[in-house]
């Protein structure tokens, strides 16, 4: 985001690159049951998006292997549990993979889907116009971070990269949390004018809906 708040910046660490062999073995490391669950979900629920973006089930396994270390899931039960959660967000995973690859329409689709939801969340703290502005700026910053276009990429201001999206939660939650935190910093530092919310109960209910 263009405004610079007092959020502590720290040097970002580069993620180790995995070899082609590591990517090819992602399904094996996930486990037979977990991989089969994701395959079934992919062909049952995500075939249309897969065709639109040119994403294969092997691309899903490779993305998961890059986003987090499957070896940390050291039991078949943990791997199966992770696969069940990823299967529930598989459309988001496909969209993320397509954006990372800059597939046609992918970024447009992500922004059109996410901007209204993120803007509604921002309305908890700022007015409607500022909410849409902050949501748009944030999504642009996410794109820059993901594609390595951010001139300040050597520091971490909390803007997420899509490469780190594991699919264990909905994409709106993955993006919404950092945006809300960044917005709070901007308000605290006087860079954005905040407005009074509708009470803690309203804030909590809206936050829960975002995370569902």
What are the C-alpha distances in Å from 52 to residues 3, 104, 143, 154, 186? 35, 9, 20, 34, 38
What are the C-alpha distances in Å from 210 to residues 118, 156, 177? 9, 24, 9
What's the confidence (pLDDT) of residue 75?
80
Long-range contacts of 30-36 (CB under 8 A, 24+ apart): 30/61, 30/64, 30/70, 30/73, 30/79, 30/82, 30/83, 31/76, 31/79, 31/80, 31/83, 33/76, 33/79, 33/80, 33/83, 34/76, 34/79, 34/80, 34/82, 34/83, 35/61, 35/83
What is the DSSP-derived secondary structure letter of residue 124?
Answer: T
Cα 184–chain centre separation: 19
What's the confidence (pLDDT) of residue 28?
78
Q: What is the pTM of this model?
A: 0.79
What's the confidence (pLDDT) of residue 209?
47
pLDDT along the chain (212 residues), means of 10: 42 40 64 90 95 95 79 80 94 98 96 97 93 96 90 72 95 96 91 68 46 50
Instruction: Give which of 101, 97, 88 is closest to 44, Cα–Cα.
Output: 88
What's the confidence (pLDDT) of residue 73?
73
What's the confidence (pLDDT) of residue 1?
55
């Amino acid at each position: 985001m263009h405004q610079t708040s007092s959020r502590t910046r720290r040097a970002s660490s580069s993620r180790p690159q995995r070899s082609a062999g590591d990517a090819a073995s992602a399904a094996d490391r996930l486990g037979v049951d977990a991989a089969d669950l994701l395959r079934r979900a992919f062909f049952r629920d995500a075939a249309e998006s897969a065709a639109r973006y040119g994403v294969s089930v092997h691309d899903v396994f490779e993305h998961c292997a890059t986003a987090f270390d499957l070896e940390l899931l050291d039991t078949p039960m943990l791997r199966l549990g992770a696969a069940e959660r990823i299967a529930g967000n598989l459309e988001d995973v496909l969209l993320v993979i397509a954006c990372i690859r800059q597939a046609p329409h992918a970024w447009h689709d992500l922004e059109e889907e996410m901007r209204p939801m993120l803007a509604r969340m921002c309305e908890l703290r700022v007015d409607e116009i500022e909410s849409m502005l902050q949501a748009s700026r944030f999504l642009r910053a996410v794109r820059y971070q993901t594609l390595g276009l951010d001139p300040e990429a050597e520091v971490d201001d909390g803007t997420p990269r899509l490469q780190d999206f594991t699919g264990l939660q909905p994409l709106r939650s993955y993006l919404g949390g950092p945006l809300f935190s960044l917005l709070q910093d901007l308000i605290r530092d006087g860079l954005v004018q905040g407005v009074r919310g509708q009470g803690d109960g309203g804030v909590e209910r809206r936050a829960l809906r975002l995370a569902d």
